[in-house]
Every structure is written in C-alpha cells, then in structure tokens.
Chains A and B, each alone.
Chain A
Amino acid sequence: MAIPRFWREIPSRYNLYGSKCGHCGTLDFPPRTVCPECGRRSVGKMERVKLGGKGTVVSYSVIHDAPAQYEMMKPYVLAIIEMAEGCRLTSQVIDVDPAAVKIGMPVEAAFRKLGSEGEAGVIHYGYKFRPAG
C-alpha cells in the first residue's frame, strides 16, 4: 500500500478515532463525513471521537488461505467486532487459540504490525484485538 495512503489514516489505525454525529449522536468507525442516519443534517457536525478499545466478537473466521502479506500469520482469526460504543469494525484476534474464539467473546485493542512493503519498505502498524481478561 502506498505510504501516504496508509499514513493519512494513522489516527484511526493507531488510536481508533471514529466520528460522532453532532445531530443524532451515532458513532461511526472509521470517521465519516456524512452520518448514514441523518444525511445532510449531519454535514459539518461530525466530531472526532476516540473509541475505548473494548468490544465483543460478532462473527469470525479462521483464515487458512491468506494473501502473501499474511502468509506468516496463517491460520489467523479474522473477526467483526462490535465496539462498546456500538459501531463495528473488522480486525484480527491475536494471542488466542483459534478454537477458543466464540461469538460474544470480549476483546480489547492491541497494537500490532499490519503488514509491510516487502523487506525494504515501510512497516504498517495498527489495531488488532486480543481476548479481554
């Protein structure tokens, strides 16, 4: 992935910055310019908010057929996570036995490598999730 393309999303990738609609209060991650609930009434009223990093697994899959970027990780657990704030995102669950992952399992954000541009290129970092104690 091109460097600026990743770099400009760092606030959300490192620190889970989403947006909150100033009109209806709905939280979105990643941040949106227009609230899907309120449409134009939300334009200009979207505030940046940081998610707390806690969530639960809504669904998951153990990935065996992985893209080259994730070859070293497989099998790895891909999951849709519902954050405590209500919005959902897609990430990995790490530091877990894949067989132990369950729908409804509580997880918390961790900081991991997401990939890199080959051996010589930049390294991308961001959130993944680990089981919450």
Chain B
Amino acid sequence: MTVGIVSYGGYVPRYRITPEVIGAVWGNDGAAMGKGLNIRAKSVPGPDEDVITMSVEAARAAMARVPWVSPKDVGAIYVGSESHPYAVKPSATIVAEAIESSPVMTAADYEFACKAGTAAMQTCMGLTLSNMYKFGMAIGSDTSQGAPGDALEYSASAGAAAFLIGTERPMATINHTVSYTTDTPDFWRREGQRYPSHGGRFTGEPAYFKHVLACAELLSKKAGIKPADYDYAVFHQPNGKFPLRVGKQLGFTDKQIDTGLLVREIGNTYSGAIMVGLCAIFDIAKPGDRIFAVGYGSGAGSDAFDLTVTDEIKNLKKGPRSMDSMVKDGVPLDYATYAKYRGKIVMRGA
C-alpha cells in the first residue's frame, strides 16, 4: 500500500518588510545583510493573524482541493509550530473545528523548531498506513520572531502549509522517508522567553549541514536514484544560501531548487519552510515529477521525503490561491508598523 499527500494548501500573509528597512533601524547595512542571506523580503502576519489563523487558511485550502474528502474522515490533525499562540491549549483543536473534522478524531500540537510540520507528516503516514485513520492533516505553521536587532530578525517570517496525508488517491506518493536526529543545541527558546536564542555560527556546519546532508544521503541510498533524476528539490531554508549550498554538495542544480526556494521572497517560515516550498512545486508539478525534500529542525534533526507526483494532481479542484500569487501579493511595511503588528511595542496594560 502506498501513502502520500492527498492534497495540499499553503498560506503566506500579505505584509512584507525588507532587510534594508530593518537594517536602517539597527545601524546595520541591511542591503548587505539581505544579500548575504539571499533574502529580499520577509513576510509579516497582520495584527489579527497567528499560527492558528494561518493553519486554518492552509487547511481549508487543502480541503477545498479535494471536495471528495469528507472532513469527518480526517481522523488526526497535528499542527507543528514553534510559535503556537497558546503555551497550553492546542492550536490543532481550533483547526479541527474550523474544518469541521471534530469531534471524533484526535488532535495535538507539535514542536520541533523548524521541522515540526514534517514530523506531523510522518506521524500521519504511520496512522494512515496502519489504517488507524483514513486521512491525517499535517500542518507546519509559524509566525516566528527574531529578537529586535538580532540576525534572525532579517529572516524569521510567517507562513503555513497543510498536507492531507492518506493512502487513498494521493496526488504525490511518499516513496520513502527517513529521519536523522541528534542532541545538538543550535537554536532554542526557553519557557517564558519572548524571543529565541541561537548558537551563531554553530547553527551552520554541526547543525544544519551535518543533519541535512546525513539525512539526504540516507534518503538517496533508500530511494536508489541519482539527484539528476529528480525534477525538484527542496531543502530547509533558514536563508537563501544554505539550501543552495547543501544542494550543490549533494549534486542538485540551482534550477531543481529554484521553484521551492520561497525564502528569497518571504523569509524563513520555520515549521512551514519546506512545506510551503513543496506547495509552490505542487502548484506547477506534472504527473510523474519526482521531488526530493529535506527538512531541518534545530535541536536537532532532519526529515527527508522522496515523492512522486501522480495523475491525481490533475483532479485537484481549482480555487485556492497559488503560492506564487500569495508570494507576489506583498505590501511593504515600515519598521514602526512592523513592530506594532508583531507586538514589539510595549503597550499600556489593559
């Protein structure tokens, strides 16, 4: 029995801020910063948006593409995020109510830095392959914050993607998946802290590169096909440089990576990162296309997926907005408005 992605939905909020605007506030050369990160702008959620609203938008888009799927058959919903609006109280139950899958189902929130969404995908694969549930919904969604002035502020953005996972009529089969996990404290946020901390350059070689490369090699071995045989590749994208470099090391071309590399226009969407990249690929993919995807979450681990697009992609119902249209529909913000929207201004107590 094969399992795969039955439908997908992505969401990118409308507001943007550029590295130049951020740099100007903190006395940094924002343009150089943006160039170094290969990020032209990052997405910013509106003041009435959070991980839950974005998850619902993505989940509804996924459901809208497959009207033949009853929401009551979505037996499990997992929302992966490092910026859940509640520390205690699941985001997933709200999504479940909003897509009308509740009450006979299970739901929970995941956290694994930037790979909580792919962890949810793997969980849903197991649950549906075992016939425990007909479909599972795996969501990666974040409204990530970098501390004001911190390097992360130039990239930490907002976005969400929802994948409906199941064995019935997948539009992309998941041929193989593999994970690689160690205890590597490269990035974290302690309980009660507003902004995350990170290990600076320690987040590179021993963290991102080690895990992504190791996991990718494990997947290649399992799948047994060469990089050149893939139509698309997507790697976790904390910036626009790392995924290109890791792709090159593995033997992928920039062209294969280009479609899923949304980070350049919208920044690092954290738990949404490789998933929104996959959404952009699905928007234009054809039956038979082969996709290589490797996520990464600090702390640290990688999940890798080998996917094949099926004929079912042609049966998806038109309607939900494409990633490209959402990525391009950006409204620039000044820093003050951005700071207001992101709750960085200390307000009078209510």
- Do A's and B's CB atoms come within 8 Å in the complex? yes
Q: Which residues of A contact B (CB under 8 A)?
A: 10, 14-15, 68, 72-73, 94-95, 110-114, 118-119, 122-123, 125, 128, 133
Best-surrounded residue of A110, A111, A113 (most CB of chain B within 10 A): A111
Measured between beta carbons, the chain B residues less than 8 angstroms from A113 are 48-50, 53
Interface 0/1 of B118-159, CB less than 8 Å to A? 000000000000000000000000000000000000000000
Task: Please state if A15 and B48 are interface contacts (CB–CB under 8 Å).
Answer: no
Task: Please state if B60 and A111 are interface contacts (CB–CB under 8 Å).
Answer: yes
Chain B interface residue count, Cβ-Cβ cutoff 8 angstroms? 23
Task: Please state if A15 and B14 are interface contacts (CB–CB under 8 Å).
Answer: no
Tally of A-B Cβ pairs under 8 angstroms: 46
Task: Please state if B85 and A118 are interface contacts (CB–CB under 8 Å).
Answer: no
Distance in angstroms from B164 CB to nearest chain A CB is 17
Task: Please state if A72 and B47 are interface contacts (CB–CB under 8 Å).
Answer: yes
Task: Please state if B85 and A123 are interface contacts (CB–CB under 8 Å).
Answer: yes
- Bound CA–CA A94/B98 (angstroms): 19
- Chain B: which residue is nearest A118 at the CB level? B350
Apart from A73-B47, A110-B57, list 4 A-B contacts with CB within 8 A: A15-B98, A68-B350, A73-B48, A114-B48
Whether B165 sits at the interface, judged by CB under 8 Å, is no
Q: Which residues of B contact A (CB under 8 A)?
A: 14, 46-50, 52-53, 56-57, 60, 85-86, 89, 94, 97-98, 100, 321, 325, 340-341, 350
Measured between beta carbons, the chain A residues less than 8 angstroms from B341 are 72
Measured between beta carbons, the chain B residues less than 8 angstroms from A128 are 48
Which of A95, A125, A133 has a CB less than 8 Å from the CB of B94? A125
Measured between beta carbons, the chain B residues less than 8 angstroms from A73 are 47-48
Measured between beta carbons, the chain B residues less than 8 angstroms from A123 are 50, 52, 85-86
Which of B85, B89, B98, B325 has a CB less than 8 Å from the CB of A14? B98
Measured between beta carbons, the chain B residues less than 8 angstroms from A125 are 52-53, 56, 94, 98
Task: Please state if A111 and B47 are interface contacts (CB–CB under 8 Å).
Answer: no
Measured between beta carbons, the chain B residues less than 8 angstroms from A110 are 53, 57
10 A-B pairs in the complex with CB atoms less than 8 angstroms apart: A15-B100, A95-B14, A110-B53, A110-B57, A111-B56, A112-B46, A113-B48, A119-B350, A123-B86, A125-B53
Task: Please state if B97 and A14 are interface contacts (CB–CB under 8 Å).
Answer: yes
Measured between beta carbons, the chain B residues less than 8 angstroms from A68 are 350
Distance in angstroms from A65 CB to nearest chain B CB is 17
Distance in angstroms from A107 CB to nearest chain B CB is 14
Measured between beta carbons, the chain A residues less than 8 angstroms from B97 are 10, 14
